[in-house]
């Protein structure tokens, strides 16, 4: 900023100032038109979680590694921290359109199909795909897996 003002006060044109400072000449022209634009100092966003809250969350994760994030925040008494919804809820019309498409293009018997809202359902217990939380320095807790054939549920 001060270099631009100094060069312009010496009588240089904006093109020469742009070449000296390795900037686009339109940038120099915008500065000359309004020198106060863009000088406002940006404030940092405050963190929602303090260091103490993070320690509480880590402690809770090590105690209960297979709980959901909502349960962890609830156990730490942090109700104001939310996670964004990854996908919207299927409304009635969208569910009907999906079922019509599936009936048209797929062959299975739909009286035996379980419909869900974009989530994976495990009706047979832990099948090796259970998710959990692990912090540094802690081992994964042991799980007893199901030993059976077959696939997931739609």
Alpha-carbon gap, residue 66 to 74, rounded angstroms: 14
pLDDT of residue 59: 92
Residue 150, pLDDT above cutoff 50: yes
pTM: 0.33
Which tens digits make up the pLDDT trace of 95-143? Answer: 899 889 888 888 777 677 766 554 444 444 455 555 556 666 676 666 6
Residue 121 phi/psi, 5° resolution? Answer: -115, 130
Closest CA to 35 of 76, 70, 1: 1
Residue 79 phi/psi, 5° resolution? Answer: -75, -15
Task: Spell out the domain ranges in the chain.
Answer: 2-33
**3-class DSSP assignment, residue 44:** coil
Which tens digits make up the pLDDT trace of 12-57? Answer: 888 888 888 888 888 888 888 887 776 677 777 777 788 999 999 9
Closest CA to 147 of 134, 130, 131, 128: 128
Residue 68, pLDDT above cutoff 60: yes
């Amino acid at each position: 900023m001060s270099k631009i003002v100094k060069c312009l006060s010496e009588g240089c044109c904006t093109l020469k100032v742009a070449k000296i400072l390795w900037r686009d000449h339109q940038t120099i022209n915008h500065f000359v038109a309004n020198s106060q634009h863009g000088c406002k100092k940006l404030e940092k966003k405050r963190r929602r979680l303090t260091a103490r809250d993070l320690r509480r969350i880590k402690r809770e994760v090590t105690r209960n590694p297979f709980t959901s994030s909502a349960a962890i925040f609830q156990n730490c008494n942090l109700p104001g921290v939310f996670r964004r919804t990854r996908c919207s809820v299927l409304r009635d019309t969208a569910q009907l359109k999906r079922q019509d498409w599936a009936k048209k293009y797929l062959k299975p018997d739909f009286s035996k199909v379980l419909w869900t809202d974009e989530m994976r359902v495990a009706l047979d217990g832990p099948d090796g795909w259970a998710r959990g939380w692990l912090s540094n320095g802690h081992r994964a807790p042991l799980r007893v897996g199901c030993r059976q054939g077959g696939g997931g549920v739609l």
